[in-house]
Amino acid sequence: MTESPTPAEHWESQYAERAQRWSGRVNATTADVVRTLTPGDALELGCGEGGDAVWLAEQGWRVTAVDISATAVARGAAGAASRGIGDRVTWVSHDLSTWAPEGEFDLVTASFFHSTVELARTEILRRAAGRLRPGGHLLLVSHVFETVADIPPWALRHHGTVDPDDPALQAHMKALLTPSEEVTALALDPTHWVVVTQEIRTREATGPDGAETATVKDGVVLLRRR
């Protein structure tokens, strides 16, 4: 019997199978929200190949960017160095379920911090939120897949099925929380936290081949520490 891969093995193989997995650009919805904030110290959870972290640094943030995949983090660091902002991002290759952030931050951000393998998402988000300074923000931008029709065709193909009843697909969709479910799951004390934004936004997305497009839904949760 073959054992299931650990989360680190899973994500390493996801990145190793191609030279570049994501677009390299900042996530549009994340950028839209961050533009409303004043730059300071940012912690990015599940930074992947660093598209958001590099953009944040270019906007004046000092960034700590963490991902479980050493390959992804190395790509992010190379990208930051090539754009001349290598000194503004600290890259950390670690499993966030066992990583305790040091220091304090003005922004904790997580874009599409999802996984089809084990991920203690809410626990990780709560721990990171605890490192925010008063007035700091927690920003979560997430996929909202309420029905299979919400999933762009290229993501469905990557998942390996277009069968809406596929159990693995159903389990993945169920694990994705809507913004209101996310706020409930975080269970942050309202005496200390303000819900600034809790909404679903739609946008036109382009697939990895650069030609295919689809309308996608992004869940946005922005919380401010009082």
Return residues touching ligand SAM (CB under 6 A): 7, 11, 22, 27, 46-48, 51, 66-69, 72, 95-97, 111-115, 119
Kindly state the smallest distance separating residue 126's Cβ from ligand SAM, in Å.
14
Order across the sheet with 89-93: list the strands: 89-93, 62-67, 41-45, 105-111, 132-143, 213-225, 193-206
Q: Which residues pair with 213 in a beta bridge?
A: 206
Q: Which residues pair with 3 in a beta bridge?
A: none
Kindly state the smallest distance separating residue 34's Cβ from ligand SAM, in Å.
13
Nearer to ligand SAM, 202 or 226 (CB): 202
Nearer to ligand SAM, 189 or 209 (CB): 209
Are residues 84 and 58 in contact, defined by beta-carbon separation less than 8 angstroms? no
Nearer to ligand SAM, 171 or 194 (CB): 171
Count Cα atoms within 13 angstroms, Cβ side, for 224. 10
Nearer to ligand SAM, 32 or 95 (CB): 95
Nearer to ligand SAM, 113 or 193 (CB): 113
Q: How many residues does the chain have?
A: 226
Tokens of 53: 């972290």
Kindly state the smallest distance separating residue 63's Cβ from ligand SAM, in Å.
13
Kindly state the smallest distance separating residue 88's Cβ from ligand SAM, in Å.
18
Kindly state the smallest distance separating residue 26's Cβ from ligand SAM, in Å.
9
Are residues 180 and 117 in contact, defined by beta-carbon separation less than 8 angstroms? no
Task: Give the whole-angstrom CA distance, residue 9 versus residue 26.
Answer: 25
- For the beta carbon of residue 4, count every other beta carbon within 10 angstroms: 9
